[in-house]
Structure 1
Amino acid sequence: MNSILLALPSKGRLHDQMNKFFESSGIILKRSGGQRTYSGFIKDIEEIEIIYLSATEISSELLKGNIHLGVTGIDLIEEGKTSVSKDVTLLSRLGFGKANVVIAVPDHWIDVENLRDLSEVLSEFRSYNNRRMRVATKFSNITRNFFTKNGINNYRLVDSAGATEGSPAAGTSEIIVDITETGQTIEANNLKVLEDGIMLKSEICIFSSTNDIWKDIDLKPVERFLRIISARSEALGNAELLFDYSREDKDLEINLFREFNSSFVNGSPNIGESVSLITPISMVPSCTYYLTSNGYGPVRTTRPDFIYNQDSRSWNLLKNSINSK
């Protein structure tokens, strides 16, 4: 039987965050031959073989179609794509490593607040200086694609070997494209992010290669693994609201879905029944206010560890991507 190759970050903060996520999911990772080795397996799902690589290497191996599954960032996948890359499918967002790829300009450019302003400045700069403005970045592909999509011209990309945010102060570029979690480092270097300057929202996800690497692979271990991952990742982003359905409202279910992206666990309730409502965490305050304002309460909130659905989204995505080939 062919092994299922799963690539995981080998070290650093992403490695630690990944281990924490898997531990909270009840998935036990074992290294082959000790903690210093770069291979391993999942306890009780030993058909999945683990290889430990850097996040950049993982994205590269996925895009080459050399591994079945990998945990890496959306930014690295998008940056690594080429005309000969294999298809890659995002199966599940894991809820950590969130950051944005952004455009930042010197904060004393008071007349440059958005892409339209930037486009005008780039054109004027070339006219006055007889050269294109330099953009320092480690994300050349993402930058080029974003600028092309938004009609931005008259720039020159400069590869950033060190700390990108320091390039304008060092005189090696005028503006930057960088990845940031909070924006504090950018601000500390006297730069500002454009109002519409978020190029890409990234986070750590599990991806699959979408090619004939899946041929002759027993998918049952993968289904089991992905169902666990999906249930855990969905629980991390949601809360459960519990209340009694004390009065009839035929529009309640559809209103909760439209306004708060909330859904009843057990379908439409009957009068007097207890209701379990799954709601995005960010919507809990407004959703509970809506319920209590409409005569439902008290509303109790809990945080589920897992939310298992009959149809696992990540498993369905993998099946569909394989079957489409």
Structure 2
Amino acid sequence: MRYLTFALTKGRLASKTLDMLEKLGITCDEMKDKNSRKLIFTNEELGLRFFLAKGPDVPTYVEYGAADIGVVGKDTIIEEGRKVHEVLDLGFGKCRMCVCGHEETAEKLQHHELIRVATKYPNIAKDYFYNKKHQTVEIIKLNGSIELAPIVGLSEVIVDIVETGSTLKENGLVVLEEVCPLSARMIVNPVSMRMENDRIKELITNLRNLLREE
């Protein structure tokens, strides 16, 4: 039996995923050792391997078949645009991708004015403004605190993930428009889906049943 390999997003998504899998009897004790320097963790009995990766890398590992299955945020799936099958909404890590800015900027969105948009997610922003709103914008990619951009005048609005909105509020910004809802999703490599169909399908079915019960 070949290994079925999981790429999990480091941090909260990985620990939530492992909690879910544990409820199905899929455990990986090696991963609980906080001092371990191992990069790949194995459950020999079940023929499973796990490794942790940064969010944007997870769809890459899955597309190229280095991982059969990945768990990653919907934002990353859209932004990276990799050739993977999205098979399940795991229901945790819920938040929204939103257009935010000062309240008075709302008008510029209504009138389709040429504005600057700062974001960590240029592809999502581009798709939203160009294809859904048909508004021409200048997109500026940033890596750090996006909220800073409208405050210092770099951009009129930002496109960013909003969980509670408290950071926005503290900085005098509001949600102006919602782009899409987000949560953790399970993705599968298309070839693995064919080759390991039974094992993967069984896992998806069990997870789906678990989600129904919760």
Aligned pair 1:160/2:142, yes or no?
yes
- In structure 2, the CA distance between the partners of 1:149 and 1:191, relative to structure 1 (3 Å rule), is same
CA shift at 1:134, angstroms? 1.4
User: Which runs of 5 or more structure 2 residues have no equivalent in the other structure?
Assistant: none
1:42–1:219 CA distance, 2 compared to 1 (3 A): farther
Inter-CA distance 230–214: structure 2 relative to 1 (3 Å threshold): closer
Q: Which has the larger radius of gyration?
A: 1
SS of structure 2 residue aligned to 1:15: helix
Q: How far, CA to CA, are the matches of 2:4 and 2:15 in structure 1? A: 23
Larger mean CA deviation between 185-194 and 62-71 belongs to 62-71
Contact (CA 8 Å) 1:98, 1:201: kept in 2 or not?
yes
- Amino acid aligned to 1:199: V
Question: Cα RMSD (Å) of the superposition?
Answer: 2.5
Report how far residue 199 of structure 1 moved.
Answer: 1.0
Q: Deviations over 1:122-165 (max 9, x none)?
A: 52xxxxxxxx4211001111111111222332321011121111
* TM-score after normalising by structure 1: 0.59
Equivalent in 86, 96, 100 of residue 90 of structure 1: 86
Higher relative contact order (Cα pairs below 8 Å, separated by 6+ residues): 2
Q: What is the correspondence of 1:1-325 to structure 2 with a 5 Å cutoff? A: 1-10=1-10, 12-31=11-30, 35-42=36-43, 44-46=45-47, 48-81=48-81, 85-86=82-83, 88-107=84-103, 109=104, 112=106, 118-120=109-111, 122-123=112-113, 132-194=114-176, 197-210=177-190, 212-214=191-193, 217-236=195-214
Percent of aligned pairs with the same amino acid: 25
Query: Given the two structures, how large is their TM-score scaled by the length of structure 2?
Result: 0.86
Specify whether residues 93 and 151 from structure 1 end up closer, same or farther in structure 2 by C-alpha distance, changes over 3 A only. Answer: closer
Report the alpha carbon displacement of residue 218 of structure 1 after superposing the two structures with TM. Answer: 4.4
Q: Is the 8 A contact 1:99 1:203 kept in 2?
A: yes
Structure 1 unpaired stretches of 5+: 124-131, 237-325
For 1:8, give the aligned amino acid. L
Aligned residues: 212
Q: 1:145 to 1:118 in 2, by over 3 A?
A: same
Output the CA distance in 2 between the equivalents of 1:30 and 1:165: 39
Q: 1:178 to 1:188 in 2, by over 3 A?
A: same
